[in-house]
Chain A
Amino acid sequence: MTATDPHTRTDSAPPAVTSAPTTAPTPDSATRRSGAWRLIARREIVTRGRSKAYRVTTVVLAILSLGAVVAAAAFSGDDDDGPTRATIGVVDLDDATTSSLGENAPESWEIEVVELTSDEVDDAVQNGDVDVAVVRTDDGDGPIEVVWEEEPRFLLDGIVVDALVSVERDARVAELGLDADVVAQLDAPIDASVRFVDPPDDSDTARSVIAALTIFVMFFAVQMYGSQIAMVVIEEKAGRIVEILLSLVRPSSLLAGKIVGIGVLAALHVIIIAAGLAAALAVSGFRDVPLSAYASLPLLFVVFMLAFAMFGSFFALVGSLVSRQEDAQQAILPATVPIFIGYALSFQALSAPDSTLAQISAVVPITSPFSLPVVTAQGEASTWLIALALALLAVTAFLVVSLAARVYEFTLLRTGTRIPLTEALRLLVRPPA
């Protein structure tokens, strides 16, 4: 209690003539004063962490995170840097053509050539033993036939045709007795380059995935665990436990203990999701995931802690306004409104992170918990923007926590009908006697 505490009696009292019964404990006040919030936090962590709901959520999140890693690893198999394989069956082909088929392919291809008899061709193609068969018909005397199952395989058909053409072309050059220089000139590469207006970029995809998930994580953690703070405050008030608590600890310790305790439980879930996400990105086939995309994960964590203190203490405040569990839903509504606004605006930041609206919402404290990680993950947050946003968020969180602690002190012991939020805030200006 402070000197301005309304309960402090000002009447001049005789000097304390304390004579406690010998059985009374003599608690070390200094230790306790600093430690009460820790005891309260620990109780929340132990009892709530033990609950079935929390354990189930933890397991589900862990499975989802692991699943994401496994899926990312599996997905990356197709996208691997390893060679593309193909098998070509040949029948009665001359050596030059056979070796051309095996060697004419680009470096990223690894082609195996197998000899077949003409009887085996259809079955081999049909079964997939070979991707394609190249057959010299009429037992080696007829024209060449290329055999596919249903339709030519993309790129492989070009490789086969190129191989056949180059052999045939060499033969014709020799037949015609063309001058080597002339042939060289004919073969000279043409002077042309290729340009893509919007080249595919893995880093864009990675950034979007991270950004979208940060929104989800922030919303899930703040909304779900924030309302748990309100619920436990209402539970304590409805059960009059708060009367015993407040005869032992200060309201601010109570508030701090609740926010830290439930915050730790929430943080564990955020870490599970963030770690899963980072691991999934690492094992996925995404090349060149920019460092700033990863950097948004620790940033997400810092922002989460500040946001949780801010929203959490507001949840505690609105929870302290009612005395019955039945009023809980209605009571926490005002605390969820800013969260939904921040959540909604973050989608704007997801689709257009460089827009003015997105940049502003990344800085304004109420919306920044949702938009800042998104904009950062998208690579559109400058260092000063991140610094400014964090500073503003920290200051706001501090203000909301201290404001909530003050109101909390007045409202916590008031039972009966619901106290309007406006009246609670008025208490700040004019504390009751």
Chain B
Amino acid sequence: MSGLAVSNLHKRFGDLVALDGVSLGVEPGAMVGFLGPNGAGKSTTMRSIMRLIGLDQGTISWNGAPIDESTRRRFGYMPQERGVYERMRLHEQIAYFGRLAGLDESEASTRAQRLLERVGLDGRRDDEVQELSTGNKQRVQLCVALVHDPVLLILDEPFAGLDPLAVDTLREIIVEQTERGTAVVFSSHQLDLVQDLCRHVTIIDHGRTIADGDVDDIRAGSQRRHLRVEWADPSPTTDAWQPMVDDASPSATNGQPIVVSDGTLRRTTQAVLDADADPAVLMSSASRAGRVASFRFEPPSLDDAFTELLRR
């Protein structure tokens, strides 16, 4: 296959099982969110793709061939936290890593300059990295990963600690890369952030891949549905609502009606129902209870879907 194929990775550190069957794939021009809670094995997987650690078992290939030194040099890598020289100037630093990746001097310099312009830091090209804010440091790190125009981009928690605006800029740049044909894998433990950033995700837990596919499919695969109804008036009570839920979803053993109070009036109700609940029935029940201001019936968020996967 073309692109990156990671299959069935296993790795132990002494007694600690770090990877216990991780698989992952990304095609050129695609972006995959690599998700999982802290300690799930995301960084270990990424470091093994960069051949920074050896494996006990499993295969990693690029375009069907094992990754050798020259292939690896065409990957761009951004480790979690820092990963740049604090006391080196921006342009100099980016060009330096470009040189290490095999660019000649003028090309490295040109690309560094172009990247600095792209991330909006060209005005600070001769500042030292230590003078930058967290978000700007992250941009420099990304430039370092991008300077040699990699075929594969491995980004370990690129969005951690960034404000929404910085997340947006970073995403834009990453998307641009995919449009040029770069395969991108980025990890995150903030699942809710990711569901808006990319369509394809691979979720791992305890060193094992537990879900892989389109974000919507993974959410839709959940056995729950989230229901949220808001009435304009009058306010229905829990007592009136519960039979309705039971009605709509006879097998709703997991139905957990939650009532949000607004002063003494109860205007809004949320419930988690089984996936087979019929939204049409619920909607008509809700209408009978009062004038409906809004009605939502949808699969759980990626975060909730993930929690559910873990419980299964």
Residues of chain A at the chain B interface (Cβ within 8 Å): 1, 6-7, 9, 11, 13-21, 23-25, 27-29, 31-32, 36, 39-40, 43, 46-47, 51, 235, 239-241, 243-249, 413, 432-433
Residues of chain B at the chain A interface (Cβ within 8 Å): 2, 28, 47, 50-56, 59-61, 63-67, 69-75, 77-88, 92, 96-97, 99-103, 107, 144-145, 148-151, 180-182
A9 to B81 Cα, complex, angstroms: 29
Q: Residue among B60, B88, B102 with the most chain A CB within 10 A?
A: B102
Known: A27-B73, A239-B82. A245 touches B100 (CB 8 A): yes
Contact pick for B74, options A1, A24, A46, CB 8 Å: A24
Residues from chain B with a CB closer than 8 A to the CB of A47 are 85, 87-88, 92
Q: Is the CB of A23 within 8 A of B149?
A: yes
Known: A18-B63, A243-B77, A248-B73. A25 touches B52 (CB 8 A): no
Q: Is the CB of B81 within 8 A of A240?
A: yes
Residues from chain A with a CB closer than 8 A to the CB of B102 are 25, 27-29, 31-32
Known: A32-B102, A248-B101, A413-B52. A24 touches B149 (CB 8 A): yes
Known: A39-B96, A248-B73, A248-B101. A240 touches B52 (CB 8 A): no
Q: Is the CB of B54 within 8 A of A432?
A: yes
Q: Is the CB of B54 within 8 A of A6?
A: yes
CB distance from B169 to the nearest CB of A (A): 21
Q: Is the CB of A244 within 8 A of B66?
A: no
Chain B interface SS verdict (over half): loop
Residues from chain B with a CB closer than 8 A to the CB of A19 are 2, 63
A6 to B78 Cα, complex, angstroms: 23
Q: Is the CB of B182 within 8 A of A21?
A: yes
CB distance from A49 to the nearest CB of B (A): 13
Residues from chain B with a CB closer than 8 A to the CB of A13 are 61, 64-66
Q: Is the CB of B150 within 8 A of A24?
A: yes
Residues from chain B with a CB closer than 8 A to the CB of A9 are 55, 59-60, 66-67
A253 to B86 Cα, complex, angstroms: 22
A14 to B63 Cα, complex, angstroms: 10
Residues from chain B with a CB closer than 8 A to the CB of A241 are 82-85
20 new A-B contacts, CB < 8 A, other than A19-B2, A36-B100, A247-B77, are A9-B59, A11-B66, A14-B65, A16-B64, A17-B65, A21-B181, A21-B182, A23-B149, A25-B148, A25-B149, A27-B70, A27-B102, A29-B70, A39-B96, A46-B92, A239-B86, A240-B79, A243-B52, A243-B83, A244-B145
Residues from chain B with a CB closer than 8 A to the CB of A11 are 59, 66
Contact pick for A21, options B28, B70, B71, B97, CB 8 Å: B28
Contact pick for B53, options A24, A27, A29, A413, CB 8 Å: A413
CB distance from A46 to the nearest CB of B (A): 8
A-B interface, 10 closest residue pairs, ranked by CB to CB distance from nearest? A27-B102, A16-B65, A21-B181, A6-B54, A240-B79, A248-B100, A13-B66, A239-B82, A243-B79, A247-B50
